[in-house]
Amino acid sequence: MSQEILQVKNLFFRFEREWVIKEISFELKKGEMLGIIGPNGSGKSTLIRLLSGVLEPEQGEIIIKNQPIQKYSSRRLAQIIAVVPQQSEIAFPFTAQEVVMMGRAPYLKRFQWEGEKDYQVVERAMALTETAHLSHRSIDQLSGGERQRVILARALAQEPEILLADEPTTYLDLHHQIRFMNLLWELKSKNGLSVIFTTHDLNLASFFSDRVLLLNQGELAGAGGVEQVLKPELVSRVYQVELFSVKVEAFSSPLLFPRLRQKNE
C-alpha cells in the first residue's frame, strides 16, 4: 500500500474564466510537513480549499488514503482532514470551549450529546494550544491571536490525520508563532500527523518544512526539498525581489533575506 496519505494529480481550477490552479501535482506522506509558499494571488488559499473539499476541481484528482475525495461523506472527510483557515467567521458569541467542542461534531450522531471522551479530547487540545484559560471567554471577545489558537484547538479536537493550515501564524505574536509551529512539528513527529501549511514567511517554511511547494500564478514553480526550492535565484524571480541566502550554523536549512537599502544610502 502506498505511504502517501494524499495525492494530487494534474489539478486545474478556475473562477469563471480565470484559471487560478493549473496542472498541479504532488503528494503528501504520512507524518510529513509540507510548506506552500508563493506571492499573493498565486493560488495557495484556493489549493487549501480544494484539498479540504470546499471547492471541486475543474480537472484532475485528489486522492486521500487511496480513495478519491468525492467518495467520502462530509462527516468521514472531517474525521480525516481538519482545517485552520486564514479567517474563521463564527456568527454567535460561543465560548472558546464551545468552539473547540465543535471539532467533535464529526464523531457525534444527530442529537447526540458530548460524552466524557469528547470533553477529554477538548481539554487536551486546549492545553496543547495554551487556550485552557480562555475556556469560558466569548469568542468575539478574544484577540486575533487568541482566536487563532482556539481555531487550532478546534482542528486538533477533530483528531485528524491531515491538518491543512492557511497562513496560520498571521495573527500570532512571536512566542505563539514558534509555539504553534513547534506544536505542529511535534504532532507530526510523535503522532504521525500530516500537515500542509501556507505561509508568506520564507524562513518559517524553510525551518519547519520537510518539503516545499513554490506557487506562481497558479502553477508549480518549484517542488522538493527545502534547499532545492528555496534558492535565491528561483524565489527572487517568483517574488520579483532580490533575495540572498545566509547559512547559519545553528540551522540546517538556508535563510533568505531581501536586499534592503542601507540607512546611509
- Residue 137 carries which DSSP code? S
Q: Give the H/E segment covering residue 146.
A: helix 144-157
Q: How far apart are alpha carbons 160 and 103 in whole angstroms?
A: 10
Residue 243 counted as domain residue: no
Residue 153 counted as domain residue: yes
Chain-centre distance for alpha carbon 49? 11
Q: Say if CB 53 and CB 77 are below 8 A apart.
A: yes
Residue 99 structural domain: 89-159
Half-sphere exposure (CA, 13 Å, Cβ side) for 232?
A: 12
Residue 129 counted as domain residue: yes
Q: How far apart are alpha carbons 116 and 207 in whole angstroms?
A: 38
Beta pairing class for 18-29 and 4-15: antiparallel
State the pLDDT at residue 264.
61
Residue 157's closest CA among 100, 109, 77?
Answer: 100
Q: Say if CB 25 and CB 213 are below 8 A apart.
A: no
Q: How far apart are alpha carbons 42 and 204 in whole angstroms?
A: 18
How many domains is the chain built from? Answer: 1
Report residues of the chain scoring pLDDT below 70: 1-2, 250, 260-265
Q: How far apart are alpha carbons 232 and 243 in whole angstroms?
A: 5
State the pLDDT at residue 83.
96
Which grid cell sits at 6?
Answer: 494524499
Residue 26 counted as domain residue: no
State the pLDDT at residue 259.
79
Q: How far apart are alpha carbons 127 and 229 in whole angstroms?
A: 35
Residue 108 counted as domain residue: yes
Residue 115 counted as domain residue: yes
Residue 242 counted as domain residue: no
- Residue 69 carries which DSSP code? G
In the three-class reduction of DSSP (H, G, I as helix; E, B as strand; rest coil), residue 185 is classed as helix
Which grid cell sits at 163?
Answer: 491538518
